[in-house]
Amino acid sequence: MPRIRERQLGASALLACVLGCGGEPTNLAPAAAPAAPAVCATFYADGDLKGATLVSMGVADNSPTVPPAFNDVMSSVAVTEGCTVMAYADGNYGGAEVTFTQTAKTVPPTINDAMSSYKCTCGGGSAK
Ligand SMILES: [Ca+2]
């Protein structure tokens, strides 16, 4: 008889725990997926990542033109890890093209003060 009461006690204690023992919340949030980078790359008007900036947002950002104030001024670029920037000397992805897979505090002469359009992609995604 005492053993049965013991078992009943154990069962009710277990039930109480299922309903909530306190402490950790029971509704566990699913593991967060790696967030897509909000910024693909940041272009700078001057070298050493200085001067006016133009920010490329998203995992696939194509700009056939850049804002007039930023046309032919890019001199350095900060590339988000895992992202790739293709900078073009002319609009609509024309002219000399330089690809950046990492931050460049200086850029090749072919693209320095020349960028007029760009494509930026992250995570191996293909831009259209
Ligand atoms: Ca410049």
Tens digit of each residue's pLDDT (9 = 90 or more) over 43-88? 999 999 999 999 999 999 999 999 999 999 999 999 999 999 999 9
Residue 34 alpha carbon to ligand 1 centre in Å: 34
Residue 22 alpha carbon to ligand 1 centre in Å: 60
Instruction: Quickly count: other Cβ atoms within 10 Å of residue 52's Cβ.
Output: 13
Running DSSP on this structure, what letter comes out for residue 126? P
Q: Which residue has the higher pLDDT, 112 or 18?
A: 112
Residue 128 alpha carbon to ligand 1 centre in Å: 28
116, 93 Cβ separation under 8 angstroms: no
Encoded tokens for 103: 């931050």
Question: Which of 41, 60, 37 lies closest to 126, judged by CA?
Answer: 60
Residue 27 alpha carbon to ligand 1 centre in Å: 53
Mean pLDDT of the chain: 84
**Reported pTM:** 0.70
Question: Which of 48, 87, 81 lies closest to 65, judged by CA?
Answer: 87
At 26 the pLDDT is: 58
CATH superfamily for 39-122 is Crystallins (2.60.20.10)
